[in-house]
Structures are given as C-alpha cells and as structure tokens.
Chains A and B, each alone.
Chain A
C-alpha cells in the first residue's frame, strides 16, 4: 500500500515506470556459478565500509610517534606513526581489531572471488563476442585489486610488510633502464623513504578504489546492456535469457548472498587472527622475520622469485638483475596473456559470431587444457612460496624442496593439461555424465584424433516446425502475457513481463523464440471476488484505522497547545498504520 503510493508518487514526477518495469523483470540465469562475481562485488562493499572506519584511526605518516596503550611490550616504544596507530587500532580501539581483520579477510576473499569468477568466465567461453569489453574491464579490476591489496598490506609499516615492500621495490628496480627511476617516482626517494607511507595511503584509499568503483559500474552497466549469457538447455537460445526475475526472487537471493558474505567475513574477522602486526614489530631496514610469506594473491610472484635460478646477465655492460625475469616478465606476460586471450582465441578458432550460449568446459578441450595447465603452474608457484614452512613441516632440507618444485612447476602443468584434454574429449565423445564416470576405455578412445565435426560456429537457425513447440499468449487483468511450451521436453517458460497489447507480446515472443508458432489461449479464470464479510471487514478496518489516526493527531495537537513549553511530542495517540494485507492475488502467472 505504502510502497504502491510511493512508487506512484515518484513515477508521477520522474516517469520511471517504463524503465523500472523492464528492470524489475530482468531475468538472471539460475546457475550457481553466476553468483561468483557477486561475491566479489559484495566483498568490495565490505572492503569500502570497513576501510572507511579504519581511515578514522590510521595515521599515514612515517614520523616518529610514541605508542602508549594496551599492548604492553610496545608501551612507550617509539615507532612510525603508521605502525603506532595500527597497534592502537588493534588494541585500544573497541571493535578496531574486528574491523581491521574483517577488512583484511575481505581483501583476500575479494581477490579470490575475482580469480574464481575469471576462471568460470574463461572455461565457459563467456568472454567471447560481444563480451570482450567486459573481459578487459574485469582483468583490469583484477590488477587494481592486486595493487590495492599490496598497498594495504604495506601501509601498517610493520616488519613483514616492510620486507614485502622492499621485495617489490627490488623487482621494480630490476627493470632495465627505467627501473631505478620508476622506484624513485613511486617512493619519492630511496627505500624506505619518508614519502612512502603517505603515497601508499593515497593510492590505497583514493586512487585505486575510485578506479575500481568506476570500473565496477562499467562492468555492471555492460552486463545490463548485453544481458547475461546462459548455459544451453531446453528453451534457451541465442535470443533469450532464461532464469529468475530480478523482482522478487533474484533480489531476495542476491541480498541473502550479500548477508552471507558479510557473515563469513565477520566470522573470519572475529575468530581467525590475521596479520598480527604487533607480533611482527615495526619495520626496520636491518631486521627480518622468518618465515616471511606474502598474502596468497602475491604468493605466485614470491614463489617465482624463489624458484628462479640465480641468473643475471648484462646488456652492453648493464646489469639485468635476477628478479627481472620471474618478477617483471612473468607478471607482465601473465596479464598480457589475460588481456589478449579473447582475441587470440578468436584468431585461432576464426569464430567471429556473437555468443549468448556458454560452452560447457568440455566443449573446448584445447581451451580447457591450456586453462588447467596455467592454473596448475600458478598453483605450484603459490605452494612454492611456502617452501620454508613446508620444509619445516616435512623435515626436509629446503633446497631439496626447491629443486623438487623447480621440476614440478614444469612437469605438473603438462600432465594436468594433458589429462584435462583427454578427459574433455572422452566426456564429449563418450556417454559418461561427469568426470567421475569416465572409464579407461573412454580415455583410450579420446587419444585417437577427433573425427571431423561440423563447424562450431554455424549460425543458429530458427527452429522450423519442431513438433510440440509453441508460444501461448493470453490476456489477464487487461495485460498480455506469453509463455513458451515444449511438449516433448515438458518445459514451460513464462515471459518475464506483462505487456500492453497482443502485438507487444507477440513481438517479444518472436524475439525470444524466432520461428515458433504462436497461439492465443484463454486466460486463467479471474480470482473469486472477496466475500461480503471480508469486504466489510476490510472497509471497516480501514475506516477504524483512519479514524484512530485522526483522533491521535487531534489529541496530540491539543496536548501540544496546552503545554507549549514541552516541545517533545510523543506519538502515543498514533494509530496502527492502516494496512490491508489481503490484496487480491493478481499477477504471477495464471493459477
């Protein structure tokens, strides 16, 4: 009732209903993997909310400051203001540690969700035309997320983060010709400089988040414009999207996911300690901690630095230091390959058609094999970044582990890629439903070269005379609705919105199911009118509510007039809000 009036009032002023009707009826595919990007989005919201809280307490300065507070071992010690304020935030600000740890966990989850979302997009071919633009935006957001994760990790000026920052600075310095200049440009001096922490801070809370929010808006705007892709299935074509409507089902589910993300992040932030900077101590250039591990999303770079052999070479007498190849070149190639993939694949497959239907990963054995191999490669690097801890756990000399990883980092990707390739081919040719049902015979058959298949990208032709397939249209309360019915496959899919005329319904259905016959069917019977008792009750209820509201207002006004000094008007006389719960059940399909 109230919502209804509010909506009408707004519409009278802004005429939003044409847009709003389409927006509320927007259809989202029901597959769970479409929620991965949302986890990233909601982690970003959590990051921004907790981050704003943290900025109230963090002092982004390298100046000396004496810490006084609850953490006894540091009480009275002189450290940088950044470190002292971080320890104060953790120990002496109520809920400070909770918010700080939640922020850090949210960053880890954010990057993880982006990475998993990216692999989903990759393996299902969702980056193909027309979605290359959003792939580029997404990869850019991944780089920004990594950058912001690292600057945030480095800001507290604790010993571990200082060592991490020094490593990154060394990697930047290793770039031929311009490395030292780039490092000086970023730090405003030689590491560790006075300018360093303010610059990290401005980058972390202003530059990168602003860019991220802008790109997220672009990402979502493009999705709304292009609509979602979807997995193949009954009634799903290149010309439609099948799933749940935004309002009410998807909105509720998405909000539930938001709440789940927050619940998990706060549970982690409250219960699982992360980055206890007070234990590491303040950064000092001559101190180091062991073990020294970065956050997981930079661990692949650290693992590469560890595994790379001690090779340095000179170009015309100039040194190219050891971190250049595993740091700069590997990182650069990784992102170059990510940016270029949609175009490289299009070049190789010569598939220039737009795609709204996704591939199952098995549909493209080569793509699957490359993806699995690359993921394995990076997984080995991440594990290798913990080789000192593994050595301690397994009681094995660390250099034996190092050499093992140096072999594994090349062998495992080849093995896993080949296995993925064979499994995909076997799944595609055989009759196994999933990887668990594959038999040895299936795999053996997959080793034989593929028989000639029809071109993958033959344009989809509209169905012609497919028996048992039709579009039904009917009127209901003065609006037209339609649905698609596939009798042999026993599937019925309803058009997502009510339309004003038969023509509108017909053309919408023709867009979604080109070439399918359309029939007009009688609509459902109108709902029975409410009985006389219910009508009377409702009318009387409304009158009573309005009357008591009026009485309340009058009483309130009179009391205020009698006691003008007492300016606090209590709402005692206010009646319960007039509300009728039993709206006539309209809409939502025939019953």
Chain B
C-alpha cells in the first residue's frame, strides 16, 4: 500500500500541532526576555564595579553569576516562547550496511594497483613501524631520576646512617633530655632535613610498659621510629597521650608503640621501621644506622 496519492479537493490544512507551539503571548515573553538581559547587563556592571573597587571574591562572583543567570533566563525564555520547539522529525538512514557499497569500498581498497596487495612489503613496513615505535619509547628512560639509579634501592635507603645526629624541625641537635616523656618529637637527619623518606619521631615511654622492645632499641625508654605510615606513606602524627598509640590521619591506621610499633587497626599491615639511636660523645642523640626496614609504603622488593 506504500504509494503516493493526490488528495485533491482536500480542505484547508489544519495547523500543525507541535509538542510546544510558539506562545501566542509573544509580546509578554519579549518583555520578560528584555528584563532578563537587562538584569544580565546589571550583573556585568556589578562585576566590573566590584573588580574596580577591589571588592572581593564574593561580590565579583555574585556579579558574574547574576550576569550569566540573566543571560540564561533570557535565552531560555526566548527559546521557549519565541522559537518553535518540539514536533520536528529528521529522517535517519540508519547504519545497516549496504552490501553493494561495502563491496565497492573493499574493491577500491584492494584494487590490483593497491599497495595493500603486496603482502611482503606490508609485513616489512609493519616491522619497521613496530621497531620505530619501540625505539620511540627509549627517551622515556630520560624521565627516570638518573642513569644507573635503581628506584627500588632509592626507596629502601634514607639519609640516616651511623653517626647522623637527630635534629628537630628547627635544625637543632637533640639531647636525650630534650625529648619529654610521652610526647612525640619529630626528628630529622642533620643536613638532610628535607628528604621525603627521612622524617622520624622520638618518644620517651616507660620501659616497663614495652610488651615488645622497639625495633631500633631504646635508651631507657627513649626510642625512635619512622614517621611514615607503612600503608600509604602519610606522616603518622596523631599521638594519643598515655596509650602509646599513634594514628595516621589518611586512612586511620593505628600503631602500638609499646608493642614494637605494630599495626593494631586500620589498613596498615607492617610495623613502623625503628631507628637505632645512641648518645654520642658530644651528648647529642645520633643514629647508629638506617631504619630497620624501608620507611613508608611498601613496594615489590620490600624485604
């Protein structure tokens, strides 16, 4: 029954019923649109005035927000009341493959004079491109720290070592009496205070309360550990006085300093590495070696 007929003598065509016809009250809408654009202009002037007077973030933000909101309302009213919306249809040819078209394209691609037909050449080209692609990755090596430096070794080593003195965050060397009882004191290796994996803390606890001795040993209850959480490396700086427990603010791992700084809650799975310390001949605290394990988050080659 598909076909066309002439419908002669049909009556007057009735109005197209669009989903949303243009509003008959065009003039009312135009007044609203003009008002919205005037508000927008006022907002822009307000922003300029706020900027000119050095008037602060809030007024500048309000000015721009009013300017754009006025613009938005005006344009939306315009689109809604003065432009025909809805009720239109666009034909869609779809994407079902037309077999003859596909065949023609394939024929054009693989015609007798097509380079694609030369199999051996294609393979050689593929080899060259693959080699070139692989070679192009080599400059990535330059993004690594420096030739010969193995990242894994760098992660495992810190500036701490035998004889390195403990300094506080002002760079002053510490004596044992500078560490008050039951208080966390952040300590750094002298001369390398800014190193990312070096931060440690010293704390003085009652030796009798140790259920497991600190990994780095202790001087009459004074012990030092790495400050970096063994889960994801955040500094564990929340010390709960009296409990011997410290908490990481990032993921709430909690470590028990009285039990060898082992993790007792949260996602951390390894104890904080200890820092072996002694009192030097000059009376200042100093390390006798590096941390007892690599500090901070774990990695593949963590011992």
Q: Which residues of chain A have a CB within 8 Å of any CB of chain B?
A: 25-27, 30, 94-95, 97-98, 101-102, 130, 163, 166-167, 169-171, 173-181, 183-186, 188-193, 226-227, 235, 238-245, 248-253, 255-260, 262-264, 266-271, 285-292, 302, 305-312, 318-323, 326, 354, 356, 387-388, 398-399, 402, 464-465, 472, 474, 483-484, 490-497, 506, 508-512, 514-524, 588-591
Interface centre among A30, A130, A249, A589 (most CB of B within 10 A): A249
Across the interface, do B90 and A25 meet the contact criterion of CB distance under 8 Å? yes
Cα distance, A387 to B51, chains bound together (Å): 41
- Interface stretch among B101-109, B202-210, B214-222, B291-299? B291-299
With A252-B78, A270-B62, A319-B302 in contact, do A512 and B267 touch (Cβ < 8 Å)?
Answer: no
**How far does the Cβ of B116 sit from chain A's closest Cβ, in whole Å?**
23
Task: Determine whether the beta carbon of A512 is less than 8 Å from that of B89.
Answer: yes
The answer to whether B13 touches A474, judged by C-beta atoms less than 8 angstroms apart, is: yes
Which B residues are in CB contact (< 8 Å) with A245? 84, 88
Q: Measured between alpha carbons, how far is A516 from B91 in the docked complex, in Å?
A: 13
Are B94 and A239 in touch, CB under 8 angstroms? yes
- Residues of chain B contacted by A321 (CB below 8 angstroms): 269, 297-299, 302
Query: Which residue of the partner chain, among B144, B152, B169, B249, contacts A388 with CB atoms under 8 Å?
Result: B249
Query: A240 and B145 in contact (CB under 8 A), knowing A190-B154, A319-B300?
Result: no
Q: Which residues on A sit within 8 Å (CB–CB) of B60?
A: 95, 98, 270
Does B128 make an interface contact (CB < 8 A)?
A: no
In contact, B234 and A490 (Cβ under 8 angstroms): no
For A251, what are the chain B residues with a Cβ–Cβ distance below 8 Å?
Answer: 79
Please determine whether B299 and A521 come into contact, CB atoms closer than 8 angstroms: no
Can you sample 19 A-B contacts with CB below 8 Å? Answer: A27-B89, A30-B19, A98-B60, A101-B57, A167-B233, A185-B144, A188-B144, A243-B88, A256-B76, A257-B72, A267-B69, A270-B61, A312-B270, A323-B267, A490-B17, A496-B90, A517-B2, A519-B5, A520-B7
Q: A290-B249, A518-B4 are in contact. Are A319 and B13 (CB under 8 A)?
A: no
Provide the B133-156 mask, 1 if CB < 8 A to any CB of A, else 0. Answer: 000000010011100000110110
Interchain CB contact under 8 A, A288 and B79: no
Question: CB < 8 Å: which of B85, B91, B143, B238 contacts A244?
Answer: B85
**A185 B140 Cβ-Cβ under 8 A:** yes
Contact between A256 and B58, CB atoms less than 8 A apart: no
Contact of B72 among A102, A259, A483 (CB under 8 A): A259
| B84 & A589 in contact (Cβ 8 Å cutoff) | yes
Chain B residue with minimal CB distance to A471?
A: B4
CB of B51 within 8 A of CB of A94, answer: yes
B6 is an interface residue with CB less than 8 A from chain A: yes
A575 CB to nearest B CB, Å:
24
Q: Could you tell me the distance between the alpha carbons of A508 and B93 in the complex, rounded to whole angstroms?
A: 9
B64 touches which one: A27, A178, A189, A266 (CB < 8 A)? A266
CB distance from B250 to the nearest CB of A (A): 5
Across the interface, do A306 and B252 meet the contact criterion of CB distance under 8 Å? yes
B227 interfacial by beta-carbon distance below 8 Å:
yes
A493-B251 contact in complex given A166-B233, A319-B298, C-beta closer than 8 Å: no
Given contact pairs A238-B94, A253-B79, A494-B89, A388 touches B235 in the complex (Cβ within 8 A): no
A356 / chain B contacts, CB cutoff of 8 Å? 92, 94
Q: Is the CB of A248 within 8 A of B72?
A: no
Please, how many angstroms separate the alpha-carbon atoms of A520 and B140 in the complex?
69
Q: How far is the CA of A186 from the CA of B140 in the complex (A)?
A: 10
Top 6 A-B pairs, shortest CB-CB distance: A270-B61, A252-B79, A321-B298, A170-B297, A286-B199, A259-B72
16 further interface pairs, Cβ-Cβ under 8 Å (given A95-B51, A286-B188): A25-B88, A130-B95, A173-B155, A189-B154, A238-B94, A240-B91, A243-B88, A245-B88, A249-B83, A252-B76, A253-B75, A286-B169, A322-B267, A323-B231, A510-B2, A517-B2
Do B3 and A518 touch (CB < 8 A)? yes
Task: Give the chain B neighbours of A492 by CB distance below 8 A.
Answer: 16-18, 87
Task: Report yes or no: B249 in contact with A289, Cβ–Cβ below 8 A.
Answer: yes
Residue B268 CB within 8 A of the other chain? yes
Residues of B41-96 at the interface with A, using a CB-CB cut-off of 8 Å, are: 51, 54, 57-62, 64-69, 71-76, 78-80, 83-96
Main secondary structure of the interface of B (DSSP, over half): loop
Question: Which of A185, A244, A320, A511 makes the CB contact (< 8 A) with B88?
Answer: A244
CB of B75 within 8 A of CB of A323, answer no
Q: Is the CB of A102 within 8 A of B61?
A: yes
> A260 CA to B234 CA in the complex, in Å?
40
B93 touches A511 (CB 8 A): yes
CB distance from B205 to the nearest CB of A (A): 20
> B237 contacts the other chain (Cβ, under 8 Å)?
yes
Q: B131 within 8 Å of A by Cβ?
A: no
Taking CB as reference atom, which chain B residue is nearest A398? B252
Closest to B302 in A: A319
B87 near A494 with CB under 8 A, answer yes
* Contact B89 A180, beta carbon cutoff 8 Å: no
Question: Of the 9-residue stretches B117-125, B190-198, B272-280, which lies at the interface with chain A?
Answer: B190-198
Q: Is B132 an interface residue, CB under 8 A from the partner? A: no
Nearest Cβ on chain B to A404's Cβ, whole angstroms: 14
Contact pick for B86, options A30, A95, A255, A287, CB 8 Å = A30
| Chain A residues closer than 8 Å to B73, beta-carbon distance | 256
Known: A288-B249, A311-B269. A170 touches B233 (CB 8 A): yes
Minimal beta-carbon separation of A320 from chain B (angstroms): 7
| A101: B residues at CB distance < 8 A | 57, 61
Asked if B85 contacts A179 (CB within 8 A), the reply is no
Say if the beta carbon of B100 comes within 8 Å of chain A.
no
For A242, what are the chain B residues with a Cβ–Cβ distance below 8 Å? 87-90
Closest chain B residue to A255, Cβ basis: B75
What residues of chain A lie closer than 8 Å to B79, measured between beta carbons? 248-253, 256
Residues 148-203 (chain B) with a chain A CB within 8 angstroms: 151-152, 154-155, 169, 186, 188, 194-199
B84 lies within 8 A of A588 (CB): yes
Contact A180 B152 (CB under 8 A): yes
Complex formed: what's the CA distance from A267 to B297 in Å?
Answer: 41
Choice from A252, A268, A305, A320 contacting B251 with Cβ under 8 Å: A305
Contact of B301 with A by CB under 8 A: yes
B13 touches A590 (CB 8 A): yes
B282 lies within 8 A of chain A by Cβ: no
Report the separation of the CA atoms of residues A216 and B107 in the bound assembly, to the nearest whole angstrom.
33
| CA of A292 to CA of B13, assembled, Å | 68
Q: Which residues of A contact B283 (CB under 8 A)?
A: none
Inter-subunit contact B144/A248 (CB<8 Å): no
The residue of chain A having its C-beta at the shortest distance from the C-beta of B270 within the complex is A312
CA distance A101 to B61 in the complex (A): 10
Check A494/B88 contact, CB under 8 A, given A95-B51, A269-B61, A517-B3: yes
Most interface-central of A177, A180, A188, A521 (chain B CB within 10 A): A180
A252-B76, A259-B69, A286-B199 are contacts. A97–B252 as well, Cβ < 8 Å? Answer: no
CB distance from A108 to the nearest CB of B (A): 16
**A159 to nearest B CB, angstroms?**
10
A174 CA / B296 CA spacing, docked (Å): 11
Please give the distance in Å from B27's CB to the nearest CB on chain A: 14
Measured CA separation A231–B220 after assembly (Å)? 76
B-chain residues with CB within 8 Å of residue A497 when the two chains form the complex: 90
Report if B265 contacts A (CB, 8 A).
yes
